[in-house]
Amino acid sequence: MTQKFTLRTVLATVALSVASATAFAQAYPNKQVRVIIPFPPGGTLDTVGRLLAQKLGEQTGQVFVIENRPGGNGTIGADAVAKAPADGYTLLFNASTFTTSTIALKTPPYDAVKDFAPIALVAKAPLAVAIDKALPVTDMKSFIAYAKANPGKLSFAIGSNASAGHLATEQLRRAAGLELFIVPYKGSTPAYQDLLGSRITGFIDPILGSAGYAKAGQLRVIAVTSAKRVPSMPDVPAVGETVPGYEAFSWYGLWAPAKTSADVVHKLNGETNKALAGDMKDRLLGNGLVIEAGSPEDFAKFQRDDTARAMKTITDSGIKFE
């Protein structure tokens, strides 16, 4: 028997499909959502991710559970999300490292553009130039003079290869004409441990990471990497006040696997922007972060533009990855 498809039948099928997708989005989420952070707990990324997960849970009535899956410079956790079902129940919360972390790999496990659906840009994070409190310097000008008088003797941590802190350190080294010894770490937590123990002399990392240690007098923050001073640390100069034109920042975002329903992506985007407009906003702003709410399309464009900016820094600085 031959089945006949009339225009009415086709339109009815399309309408049913649209209605089903809309109903799914309205019902989403109806079970626990897993949010993978591809770095160890304790850093700024983890702090912001947990705060967002808590707010999303409160708003939707479902649990958004954080799963830290470190390793491979962030690629192991991200790859798990890339290969997860595209149903909205496995998400990735990551930093700007995400866009550059695979450049040193001969066979990257995923494509940061093709294998993910951007949901929302959560915040931009100016960085802090934190140094060992035992160093005989108090500001960027005296730091630069001291570093030039002791070439190669100052060690600076990087939390991960091609991270915002890594690129910011290379930018500073190049712009100020410094010779710094770079020490790679697997995340910011062990880097801070060594900085507090005077085993390294400096670390450029998001403000939230070093603010508490600075207030406790355990380390010294001599500058911020934003174009101008940040409200949460008004007495700390911007690097650009000493090194004209210098600016660097990290950022945090939320992704789903590619092919996740557009309805689910936009629902998550709306819930994220709602969270950022509430009391979460005050907490982030109070820790030096800048809210960058927008649409998934806005985030996709931002990601493309920032990747190009990061790659230019890598090329200009001659960064080599082993």
DSSP 233-301: STTSPBGGGTSTT---EEEEEEEEETT--HHHHHHHHHHHHHHHHTHHHHHHHHTT-EE----HHHHHH
User: Quick one: pLDDT at residue 321?
Assistant: 64
Look at residue 37 and give its three-state secondary structure: strand
Domain with CATH 3.40.190.150 in the chain: 7-124+250-317
User: Quick one: pLDDT at residue 322?
Assistant: 57
Whether the predicted pLDDT of 73 surpasses 90: no
Q: Does domain 7-124+250-317 have CATH number 2.160.20.10?
A: no
Closest CA to 115 of 139, 157, 86, 155: 86
pTM: 0.81
Contact criterion met (CB below 8 Å) for 95 and 252: yes
pLDDT averaged over the chain? 90
CA distances to 9, 23, 57, 236, 293 from 13, rounded to whole Å, are: 6, 15, 34, 62, 36
pLDDT in tens, 192-227: 999 999 999 999 999 988 989 999 999 999 999 998
Encoded tokens for 92: 């990735």
Considering the domain delimited by 126-241, tell me its CATH architecture.
3-Layer(aba) Sandwich (3.40)
